[in-house]
């Protein structure tokens, strides 16, 4: 098992499942995004405050590798690792595991950057500092 910088536990809700009784593939994006947002809060960052300053954190690439399906009522957790991949880009490695026996459900990689009010790439100083601290 990898050493994750952050871990979030969740449970599948009925309305997240499709007609086959499994979590719809698009819902996993929501799970991963919620995990990233909770992690970013632990770094002391506030999305609303960044937006007021004209800085937005955006996803520029997502890659998901599905291993098995989650079903209604399943409890699961998401492990997250944040890494810097260039001066203006960072990547989240996020893995989803079914509880209680930690069966791998999904492997994901989400790449992001920051964009200023003029639409130009710019990482907020807080993100740059957090990335340096986590390295």
Which residues form the catalytic set? 18
Q: How many CB atoms lie within 10 A of CB 63?
A: 10
Residue 33 exposed, middle or buried by CB count within 10 Å (0-12, 13-18, 19+):
middle
Residue 113 · residue 60 · CB < 8 Å: yes
Q: How many CB atoms lie within 10 A of CB 27?
A: 17
Cα angle: 43, vertex 97, 93; to 5 degrees: 45
> Cα separation of 132 and 13, whole Å?
37
């Amino acid at each position: 098992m990898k050493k994750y910088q952050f871990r979030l536990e969740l449970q599948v809700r009925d309305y997240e499942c499709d007609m086959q009784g499994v979590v719809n593939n698009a819902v996993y994006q929501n799970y991963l995004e919620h995990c990233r947002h909770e992690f970013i809060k632990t770094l002391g960052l506030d999305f609303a405050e960044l937006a007021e300053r004209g800085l937005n954190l955006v996803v520029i690439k997502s890659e998901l590798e599905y291993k098995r399906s989650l079903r209604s009522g399943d409890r699961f957790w998401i492990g997250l690792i944040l890494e810097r991949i260039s001066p203006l880009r960072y990547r989240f490695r996020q893995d989803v595991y079914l509880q209680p026996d930690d069966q791998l459900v999904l492997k994901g990689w989400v790449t992001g950057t920051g964009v200023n009010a003029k639409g130009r790439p710019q990482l907020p100083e807080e993100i740059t500092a957090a990335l340096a601290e986590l390295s």
